[in-house]
Amino acid sequence: MATTALEQELKEMIIDALELEDVTPEDIDPDEPLFVEGLGLDSIDALELGLALQKRYGITLESDAESSRQHFANLRSLAALVEARRAQ
Amino acid sequence: MSFLELRERPWRQRATTDTVAWYPATPTRPQGWLSIAEWHLRIGAWQRLLDTFESTGQRTWLLFEPDPVEFSAALIAIWERGDEVLLPADNQPETVASLAHAGVALGAIAGAGSAGEDQPPIWGDEPLPENALSLYTSGSTGEPQRLTKRFAQLDAEMATHATLWPLAQRVVISQVSHQHIYGLFFSLLRPICEGAPFAARLCPYPETLHAWLGELQADRGVLISAPPALSRLAPAMDWSPVTTSLARIHSSGAPLPKAASDDVRQQLGTPVFEVYGSSETGGIGWRDQQHGDEWTPLPGVEVRTDDDHRLWLRSPHLDAPNAWQRQADCIALTSTGFVLEGRADRIVKIGGKRVSLTAVDRALESQPEVVRAQTLPLQRRDLRLAAIVQLSAETLPHDHATHRATVQRLRRALAARFEAQSLPRYWRFVTDWPSNAQGKLSAEIRRRLFLDLDDRRAPRWLGEHIEDGAWRLTLEVPEHCAYLDGHFDGQPVLPGVALIHWTMQAAQRLLGAETTFAGVERLRFPTLLLPGDRFEMTLEHRLKDGQQSLRVQCLGQRGEHMSGRVLLYVSDSAEDNDVG
């Protein structure tokens, strides 16, 4: 599946917000986990990412940690979240 | 010859026919000796120079002088006036500019005065100054700190050393600068107070040392060295013809790797006595690793520990000799001394969780490709870890893909033991351990290693050294370098103008801030540089027909990225810069 414009935008947002100095957008596989395995993000990054989504797209995450975690599973799920919430 | 305290002014008391310094042979001149009488004439020459500043009313002098004889003469001339002296760590333009307000510059500092012809000294009745000297510590834990040493502190420590390791008129050869306290203390002040000659030149290279030792009779030399020089000594040449020359070697500044201690002992046939301490504390303990890794406290120095394993110190070498002072290092007491357990401040909190940086370092060092590693916290939004990792040459990444693969492999290896947020986020891979002349990974070097995080136009700097008269800088193209913007076809490349800019930045740092761009000649960019590419930039400074220039070559794994000449305009005040 090709990378959509939104996915590309999210890749750049992640790299920028989390200061991933040696990661380029091409390094982020949309289907690979963002956390621990794959890109190797951690709980501090999860907080940063939440802030970035709010700033950029006006999206506020649920206070329920479990459902937030599902959205952050990989880039595709993150893009789906942005797509859905932006449309509301 | 008997030991005299600095406060007894040994320079006045020795017989004028005694020797104070040894001149090793040069291709054109046999070895020779400097007598006390001849040394007095150099002191007189500096006294006359200092007199010319009489009208300024200045009582503090900024002294940088690489020549040990001239340095010692200048220092004594200042003391004889009862004036204060400040020793800058180097004569780089930035260092000198930051201290310019503090006193009158002397010696090898751009625009400073140096002593002229020999003159008879004048011994007045001016008391010695309050402080023997001030200097700036290397700043391994932050900003450089101004530090003052009183005569009593230095005299107490020298008396201890004179008893423990008497020089007994052996020639003292030094591989470390006397602008720092360790070099000054061991290679100049001790010989002066014990009436032993010091070598009239610094001996930075193994080849020089080999030649000098060939001139000395058996057991007539003492070498003052440090881990960076000592680790590179044994493999450099065949020492068998000169193994008897040295009575002992001293090393300080950082712990000497055990392997280096073994090599030196075996090949030079000389014991290495390491001294543990800092500019602030003076000497604390000593050891010869051939007899174990324990440190023995120096005579008169008391050591104890607390529940946190912190080292507590009471020492005549401290400014307050009767008070117990807590130090940043952790120790464990043994039956005869103590072992070092690392610095207490190596525990940090990341995301609220405590992480031992020493534990992360050791885990990294247990990986087969890792020679040495040091993690450090970087204050970026939240506290994050960075790692400086020395890899074996064959495992070094050369481009973005291999860099990513190396980072992922190392992070995976750490993930088994540490939580995700404790894993280093910023990685710097090096082939040679980055350190200053004292063997320390100083705050300044750390700043330079991570400069590209704050300056999107800077390259990723991974070390530099001088080889065959040229600077060799190891650099990487940061993946998010601002110069990569405006790329085409989704493949960003580094434009040639960025390389010229990086060349000029290096030139200004190495040659002085007054260096400006004057043009280019025969400049070629044969192979494109891509984000993440690692390369070596070689800069050779030339002066031909009044035109200063840098011969530049950038070489990477895929080929040559740049070659040619960058022409420079260097204003007068920047020319006299010491590249060493």
Let me know if residue B463 belongs to a domain.
Answer: yes
Same domain, B392 and B461: no
CA–CA separation, B453 and B443 (whole Å)? 16
Element (H, E) at B221: strand B221-225
Q: Which residue of A has its CA nearest to B400?
A: A22
Q: Give the separation between CA B46 and CA B261, rounded to whole angstroms.
A: 41
pLDDT tens per residue across span B124-148:
999 999 899 999 865 444 456 789 9
Q: How many domains does chain A have?
A: 1
Q: What is the pLDDT along chain B (580 residues), one digit of tens a residue?
A: 689 999 999 999 999 999 999 999 988 899 999 999 999 999 999 999 999 998 888 899 999 999 999 999 999 999 999 999 999 988 877 778 888 888 999 999 888 988 999 999 999 999 999 899 999 865 444 456 789 999 999 999 999 999 999 999 999 999 999 999 999 999 999 999 999 999 999 998 888 899 999 999 989 999 999 987 888 787 778 899 999 999 999 999 888 888 889 999 999 999 999 999 988 899 999 999 999 999 999 999 999 999 888 999 999 999 898 999 999 898 999 999 999 987 777 778 787 777 889 889 989 999 999 999 999 999 876 789 999 999 999 999 999 999 999 999 999 999 888 888 889 999 999 999 998 877 788 888 999 999 999 999 999 999 998 888 899 999 999 999 999 965 566 789 999 999 999 999 999 988 887 889 999 999 999 999 999 999 999 999 998 888 899 999 999 999 999 999 999 987 755 444 444 3
Q: Judge contact between B438 and B279, C-beta under 8 A.
A: no
Q: In the numeric block, which tokens belong to residue A82?
A: 């942005």
Partner-chain contact B423 A40, CB within 8 Å:
yes
Contact A35 B419 (CB under 8 A): no
> Which residues make Cβ contacts (< 8 Å) with residue A14, sequence separation at least 6?
A20, A28, A34, A39, A49, A52
* Chain A interface, best mutation among B382, B460, B479, B534, by max A CB count within 10 A: B479
**B391 located within any domain:** yes
> Contact B382/A44, CB-based, under 8 Å?
yes
Q: What dihedral angle (degrees, nearest 10) is formed by the CA atoms of A20, A26, A29, A35?
A: 0
Radius of gyration of chain A (CA): 12
Q: How many CB atoms lie within 10 A of CB B4?
A: 20
Compute how many other C-beta atoms are within 10 angstroms of the C-beta atom of residue A49. 23
pLDDT at site A51: 84
- Whether the Cβ atoms of residue B270 and residue B247 lie closer than 8 Å to each other: yes
Cα–Cα distance measured from residue B242 to residue B210, given in angstroms and rounded to the nearest whole number: 7
B477: domain CATH number is 3.10.129.10
**What is the DSSP secondary structure assignment for residue B345, as one 8-state letter?**
G
User: B229 lies in a domain?
Assistant: no
Query: Both B496 and B577 in a single domain?
Result: yes
B420 and A CB contact within 8 Å: yes
B329 min Cα distance to partner chain A (Å): 30
SS3 B253: coil
Contact B400 A22 (CB under 8 A): yes
Domain count of chain B?
2
Which of B434, B465, B480 is where one domain is finished?
B434
Q: Are residues B430 and B484 in the same domain?
A: no
Q: What's the rounded Cα separation, in Å, for the pair B12 and B578?
A: 33
Same domain for B524 and B559, yes or no, is yes
Q: Is the ipTM of this complex over 0.85?
A: yes
User: Contact A40/B411, CB-based, under 8 Å?
Assistant: yes
Q: Are residues B460 and B498 in the same domain?
A: yes
Which single residue is written with the structure tokens 């006390």? B36
In terms of Cα–Cα distance, which of B300, B299, B298, B247 is closest to B276?
B298
> If we measure between CA atoms, which residue out of B93, B88, B95, B98 comes closest to residue B111?
B93
**CATH code at position A67:** 1.10.1200.10
Q: Kind of pairing, strands B272-278 and B246-251?
A: parallel
Amino acid B340 reads L
Put simply, the answer to whether B420 touches A40 (Cβ < 8 Å) is: yes
DSSP state of B185: I
Q: Which residues of A lie closer than 8 Å to B, measured between beta carbons?
A: 15, 19-24, 27, 35-36, 40-44, 48
Range of the domain at B580: 450-580
- Angle between helix axes A5-17 and A43-57 (nearest 10 degrees) is 120
Ramachandran class of B278: left when φ > 0, alpha when ψ lies in -120 to 50, beta otherwise: beta
Examine the domain organization and report whether B486 and B363 are in the same domain. no
Strand partners, B373: B389
Q: Both B468 and B560 in a single domain?
A: yes
DSSP state of B280: T
Same domain, B403 and B455: no
Say what the pLDDT of residue B140 is: 45
Asked whether residue B456 falls in the same domain as residue B570, the answer is yes
The pair phi, psi for residue A65, each rounded to 5°, is -60, -35
Query: Is residue B298 a contact partner of residue B273, using CB atoms and an 8 Å limit?
Result: no
For residue B151, the surrounding DSSP H or E stretch is helix B151-164
Residues of B with Cβ-Cβ distance to A32 under 8 angstroms: none
Alpha carbon distance A30, A39 (integer Å): 10
What pLDDT digit, counting tens, does each position of B293-306 carry? 999 999 999 999 99
Q: Which domain holds residue A35?
A: 5-87
Shortest Cα distance, chain B CAs vs residue A39, angstroms: 9
The SS3 assignment for B457 reads coil
Single residue among B385, B405, B434 that ends a domain in this structure? B434
